Amino acid sequence: MATARSVASGREVEKVRKTGLFGGTFDPVHEGHLALARAALARCGLDQVLFIPAARPPHKEQPGASFEHRVAMLRAALAGSARMDVSCIEAERDSPSYTIDTVRELKKRLGDHEFFFIIGADSLLELHLWYRYRELLEQVPFIVAARPSVPFAEVARAVAMLPGGFVYDRRSSTWRRADGARIHYLADVRVPVSSSEVRRLLARGRPTPMVPEPVRRYIERHNLYGQAERRAACST
């Protein structure tokens, strides 16, 4: 349902659901992703977060795990969470997964939701390179999580490069534009982990504490990220 009903002043009113859209390859999903989703739920008043794995990411090399495996790992990580789920919408296209097309399609399907798009500060630095990014800024507010490698000054410079003249409000940690576009900044979400580092650790057989246990078991069961090759080498 797009809306939830509540009672105010003796009559029913409809509350628009706030939905965070969290795109990425999730190759694999790790605790940093989950921490960011939980922070967005708590700090930005979201009702839910939809993880949207890219089927064919246009700006990155092809993922190490198939789309089906990445979806299964997300479902394992999110099992038991009533406010986080997975959308496979980007697998429906034969073309590359462009964020603006995904946002527009979800607006058609889900109706009266208020959408927010969740990214890390490192992705914000490249936002001006995204396909039709100007339209995207008009379509959804952004929630941007700090990254240890990206100082706030660099984030502020990236926002200043965007069109329309965003103005920063320190009290709400939000950049606002005259047309209503917003960029919310989560300064205290700085989990020092990346999927590429997780893959390197897995390939070397090193401990991976930032991978949820159900995901780690799935990786081992399906011999992902060099697990089969490593076991074969250890048995010779």
Residue 134 has which token pair? 């100007």
Given this model, what pLDDT does residue 227 score?
Answer: 61
pLDDT category of residue 161 using cuts at 50, 70 and 90 = very high
pLDDT value of residue 58: 65
User: In the prediction, which pLDDT does 72 show?
Assistant: 98
* 26 is a domain residue: yes
Rounded Cα distance between 41 and 162, Å, is: 26
Mean pLDDT of the chain: 89
Do 12 and 5 form a contact (C-beta atoms < 8 A)? Answer: yes
- Number of folded domains in the chain? 1
User: Has residue 176 been placed in a domain?
Assistant: yes
Asked if the structure places residue 223 within a domain, the reply is no
pLDDT in tens, 102-151: 999 999 999 889 999 999 999 999 999 999 999 999 999 999 999 988 99
Residue 227 in domain: no
In a domain, 231, yes or no: no
Count CA within 13 A, CB hemisphere, residue 62: 4
Q: Give the CA radius of gyration of the chain.
A: 19
The token pair that represents 150 in the structure block: 């990206």
Residue 157 lies in a domain: yes
Query: Counting Cβ atoms within 10 Å, is residue 109 exposed (0-12), middle (13-18) or buried (19+)?
Result: exposed
CATH number at 22 reads 3.40.50.620
46-104: pLDDT as tens digits: 999 999 999 877 666 678 899 999 999 999 999 999 999 999 999 998 777 789 999 99
* Confidence at residue 232, expressed as pLDDT on a 0 to 100 scale: 43
Nearest 10 degrees: CA dihedral of 229, 60, 83, 197? 50
Q: Does 80 or 167 have the greater pLDDT score?
A: 167
CA distance to 27, 224, 226, per residue, from 203 (Å): 13, 9, 5
Cα separation of 21 and 35, whole Å?
A: 15
Residue 8: inside a domain, yes or no? no
pTM summary value: 0.88
Structural domain including 91 reads: 14-194
Tell whether 118 is covered by a domain. Answer: yes
